[in-house]
Amino acid sequence: ITQDNLKKLVHYGFEIISPATGLLACNDVGEGKMPEPEILFEYILKHLAMEKDLAGKKVIVTAGPTQEAIDPVRFITNHSTGKMGYALAKVCMLRGAQVALITGKTALAAPMFTEVIHVTSAKDMYEAVCERIDKADIVFKAAAVADYTPSITYDNKVKKKESDLSVPLKRTDDILKYLGTKKRPGQILCGFSMETENMLENSQAKLIKKNVDMIVANNLKVAGAGFGTDTNIVTLITKDGFRELPLMSKFNTANAIVDTALELY
């Protein structure tokens, strides 16, 4: 009877929150526990927190670092924590989009109600993005993708020697540049640019060179805008000019980024 009633509710458009799994009052283990309050709250936020101005749109967000293996023990990476990309994914979800979050390895819990694709290397991320790009309306390339990867990956651990070690590197695929060559009419492509000098000039050149609609630029040396922080200070660059945003939380920064992307859309 309960299952029949649930099916009737679904038929009339209700969303059913599945019970959690664990130890039940009858000392059996299985589905039947009330979900944790934090989970229930996320369902409420999904429906009520924000206007659904991205409803019907498919969004790709890339986030986090990539890891380029030297051997089974060592890899090359960067300091990205993925916080900006995860904030973007959550904002897009709350605003009604169907979100695919393509993420390198981070310590963050992925936003609920998003499709999460875990990748490791720059090549993995390139392939994951290419598989989904044709159906995407908006792409936010927030990941810190390695520009170089070892030319050779050793099958066994490289042993320490008395002499120095050199690791030859080769270029990785430029995902943003590739997307710029494949961008279809009406599709919005947003890249990110972290600089330590000449931020505006370098980022404006990147906008043109890679044929994107928007660049989100920040300076690693500015307090509050670096890796691992919960805040950011960014400049939004489009073909029509640029706009500097004040110090804000990454969630609020993500909202401002999405606002600009929608204006372009």
Q: Which of 253, 105, 249 is nearest to 190 (CA)?
A: 253
Q: Which two tokens stand for residue 37?
A: 């309050």
Give the SS3 label for residue 202: helix
Between vectors from CA 153 to CA 148 and to CA 159, what angle results, nearest 5°? 115
Task: Compute how many other C-beta atoms are within 10 angstroms of the C-beta atom of residue 93.
Answer: 24
The interaxial angle of helices 175-182 and 122-132, nearest 10 deg, is 20
How far is it, in rounded angstroms, from Cα 151 to Cα 172?
10
Q: Which of 196, 209, 83 is nearest to 142 (CA)?
A: 83
Is residue 26 part of the annotated active site? The answer reads yes
Of 26, 92, 130, 190, the active-site residue reads: 26
What is each CA distance from 228 to 85, 104, 105, 146, in whole angstroms? 12, 15, 14, 17
Active-site amino acid positions: 26
